[in-house]
Amino acid sequence: MSELIAQLLVYIKGVWKYRWVSVATAWVVAVAGWSFVYRMPDNYQASARIYVDTQSILRPLMAGMTVSPNPDQQISIMSRTLISRPNVERIIRMVDLDIKIVDDSAREELVTKLMKDIKLGTTGSDNIFMISYDNKDPKLAKDIVQSLLTIFVEGGLEGKKQDSASALRFIDQQIAAYEEKLVAAEAALTAFKQKNIGYLPGQGGDYYSQLVSAAEKLEKARLALLEAEQARDAVKKQITGDEPLLLLEVGEVSPKSIVNPEIDSRIQDLNKNLDNLMLSFTDQHPDVVATKRLITQLEERKVEEAKLAGNVNNTGKNYDPMMQQLNIALAESEAQVASMKARVTEYEARLERLKSMSNTVPAVEVEMQQLNRDYSVNKANYEKLLERRASAEISGELTSTTGLMSFRIVDPPTVPENPSGPDRKKFFTFVLIGALAGGIGLAFLVSQIRPTFHSQSTLRELTSLPILGSVPMIWTEQEKLKNKKQIYAFSISLLVLLTCYVVLMVYAKPYVTPSA
């Protein structure tokens, strides 16, 4: 540690020996640096603040009906792409800086400088942006900030309109494409139906369902035919006498078994009238009693007329009313059997026809299903695109007319009266520190170039010779006085240098701290 202190004292003595070189160097550097700083042009910072409002009551109200982009993401993209080359070139044209451009290199240099100097940042609050720019010309700085502010606002609005227009164009193209596909599918489906008109499945289902249904109907028809034939045979046996037939005597003829159209119609009318009366009156009501008595009289009259007719024309049992009814039942049974036979024949023909189409109909049905599926898919996509287009139109109109994302200028572009830079006081201090450090450094360098021995140990180390002794310097009074004057002059020179620094700091122009 003692050796380090001794070496430091040697360096200090060397610098002190060349102190006038140090002072002269400090004065030269300080005067030159202060002059340069004093002549530095003033910079003026123009700034503006803008708030982007992304909150709107219409957004939740129109949820589900419209589709709108994420405003926060859109703002982030706008802020990151605002200071781009196209926008900076547009700013140059807006503030007439392109008049001073003489060649492409000058344009490139100006664009690069503006992209570097223009600042865009947030103020710490949500969606509040600050635009700032420094320039020697306060009017030019303000114009550039105003131009950038205009581009920022217009870019947001134009971006939304362009997005809506692009979306509508894309949807229109897709609608046109799917409309062509839909027309082609409809034409193919129509042509296929016309070509295979006899093989298409009906409302009863597909081919196999129709085949099973036809077989079931045929079985039912055969069963009904068998029942009708048995009923007919039973009637024939009664007529031919193979089965016992209980014939009523003429005196025992039932009124209901006698056919007399005139009396039967009157009895039927009276029965209807009796039913209506029974709804309102009891059995003892005179009208009810009279009606029943009249019905009884008509039935007795019908029996009497049948007896009279039987006594005159009763030449055989074929003229018996029961036989007449059996003959009528036989005719009805024959007609029923014929009808059922025709139905069975038709069902058999249908079943055979379906069996003969067992190879063709399934292939036709498969192709028909494929055509219907293609048509359904194209139709569903076409209808969805129409809905999306309507939603896109509403979204575009909503975005452009109501302003789901509005811009509010908090602070318009302003330029303070005092410059924002340079900070001359700071630069003056740096120059002073640099001048003192330069003077000391130069004195130290000279002391190393022209070294002197300030101690016996240093001389012994460098020469490796023994030191017998040292002769002290005896200063005269005149030399002491001269040394004191030199020290005073050195101190005064440093004091004057510091005084100049203080004066510069006092009279330096004030400046406005640039906004963050």
Tokens at 428, concatenated: 């003056």
Residue 300 has pLDDT above 90, yes or no: no
Q: How confident is the model at residue 279 (pLDDT cuts 50, 70, 90)?
A: confident
Residue 516 has pLDDT above 70, yes or no: no
Question: 404-414, pLDDT tens digit by residue?
Answer: 556 677 778 88
How far is the CA of 390 from the CAs of 169, 378, 401, 453, in angstroms? 13, 18, 16, 98
Nearest Cα to 396, choosing from 154, 82, 149, 62?
Answer: 62
Residues paired with 131 in a beta bridge: 48, 120
Exposure pattern of 86-95 as b/e (b: 16+ CB <10 Å)? ebbbebbebb
pLDDT at 73: 57
d(CA 235, CA 169): 83
Q: What single DSSP character describes residue 23?
A: H
| Candidate from 5-19, 249-263, 335-349, 478-492 with smallest mean pLDDT | 249-263
Domain end (from 303, 337, 369): 369
pLDDT at 28: 92
Give me the domain span that covers residue 448. Answer: 2-40+422-476
Q: Looking at per-residue confidence, does 497 or 399 come out higher?
A: 497
d(CA 482, CA 232): 168
Domain assignment of residue 57, yes or no: yes
Q: Looking at per-residue confidence, does 28 or 480 come out higher?
A: 28
Residues 231 and 359 in one domain: yes
Residue 202 has pLDDT above 60, yes or no: no
Domain assignment of residue 90, yes or no: no
Residue 221 contacts residue 340 (beta carbons within 8 Å)? yes
> Hey, how many other C-beta atoms are within 10 angstroms of the C-beta on 313?
9
| Candidate from 4-8, 68-72, 139-143 with smallest mean pLDDT | 68-72
Residues 229 and 359 in one domain: yes
Residue 206 contacts residue 365 (beta carbons within 8 Å)? yes
pLDDT at 340: 86
Which phi-psi region, left, alpha or beta, contains residue 205 (left: φ > 0; alpha: ψ -120 to 50)? Answer: left
pLDDT at 204: 47
d(CA 165, CA 168): 5
Cα dihedral value 330, 336, 340, 343, nearest 10: 150
Residues 155 and 233 in one domain: no
Nearest Cα to 262, choosing from 322, 292, 314, 302?
Answer: 302
Residues 274 and 404 in one domain: no
d(CA 187, CA 193): 10
d(CA 336, CA 222): 13
Q: Looking at per-residue confidence, does 28 or 336 come out higher?
A: 28
Residues 341 and 437 in one domain: no
Q: Which element (helix H / strand E) includes 359?
A: none
Residues 288 and 323 in one domain: yes
Q: How confident is the model at residue 508 (pLDDT cuts 50, 70, 90)?
A: confident
Residue 32 has pLDDT above 90, yes or no: yes
Q: Looking at per-residue confidence, does 339 or 317 come out higher?
A: 339
d(CA 503, CA 221): 129
Residues paired with 408 in a beta bridge: 51
Residues 337 and 272 in one domain: yes
Mean pLDDT of the chain: 75
Give pTM, 2 decimals.
0.42
Domain assignment of residue 197, yes or no: no
pLDDT at 49: 82
Burial of 54 (0-12, 13-18, 19+ CB in 10 A): middle
Q: Looking at per-residue confidence, does 155 or 98 come out higher?
A: 98
The stretch 496-513 carries a mean pLDDT of 81
Residue 18 has pLDDT above 70, yes or no: yes
Terminus-to-terminus CA distance in the chain, angstroms?
49
pLDDT at 284: 81
Residue 158 has pLDDT above 70, yes or no: no
Residues 12 and 52 in one domain: no
Quick one: how far is CA 254 from the chain centroid?
Answer: 89
Q: How confident is the model at residue 320 (pLDDT cuts 50, 70, 90)?
A: low
pLDDT at 496: 92
CA 20, 21, 24, 30 torsion: positive or negative? negative
Q: How confident is the model at residue 357 (pLDDT cuts 50, 70, 90)?
A: low
Reported as half-sphere exposure (CB side, CA atoms, 13 A), residue 140 has a value of: 12
pLDDT at 31: 92
Residues 168 and 26 in one domain: no
Number of H helices, E strands in the chain: 15, 4
Domain assignment of residue 463, yes or no: yes
Number of domains in the chain: 3
Strand pairing of 128-135 and 44-53? antiparallel
Residues 217 and 363 in one domain: yes
Residue 60 has pLDDT above 60, yes or no: no
In sequence order, what are the residues at sequence separation of 6 or more whose Cβ sits closer than 8 angstroms to the Cβ of residue 360? 199
d(CA 28, CA 278): 143
Domain CATH code at residue 50: 3.30.70
Residue 134 contacts residue 44 (beta carbons within 8 Å)? yes
Which phi-psi region, left, alpha or beta, contains residue 120 (left: φ > 0; alpha: ψ -120 to 50)? Answer: beta
Domain assignment of residue 65, yes or no: yes
Residue 214 has pLDDT above 90, yes or no: no
d(CA 288, CA 272): 12
pLDDT at 464: 73
Domain assignment of residue 56, yes or no: yes
What is the helix, strand, coil percentage profile of the chain, to 5?
70, 5, 20
Domain assignment of residue 93, yes or no: no
Residues 237 and 155 in one domain: no
| Candidate from 61-75, 251-265, 332-346, 494-508 with smallest mean pLDDT | 61-75
Residues 330 and 410 in one domain: no
Helix (H/G/I), strand (E/B), else coil: 51 = strand
Amino acid at 187: A
Residue 394 contacts residue 64 (beta carbons within 8 Å)? no
Domain assignment of residue 182, yes or no: no
Q: Give all strands of the β-sheet with 406-414 in edge-to-edge order.
A: 119-122, 128-135, 44-53, 406-414
Domain end (from 369, 401, 436): 369
Give percent above pLDDT 70 in the chain.
Answer: 71
Q: Looking at per-residue confidence, does 462 or 379 come out higher?
A: 379
d(CA 117, CA 100): 19
Tokens at 456, concatenated: 């016996």
Q: How confident is the model at residue 433 (pLDDT cuts 50, 70, 90)?
A: very high
Give me the helices (H) in 120-206, please: 138-195
Give me the helices (H) in 317-408, please: 321-356, 361-402
pLDDT at 499: 92
Q: Looking at per-residue confidence, does 506 or 320 come out higher?
A: 506
> Hey, how many other C-beta atoms are within 10 angstroms of the C-beta on 486?
12
d(CA 510, CA 516): 19
Nearest Cα to 215, choosing from 350, 359, 25?
Answer: 350
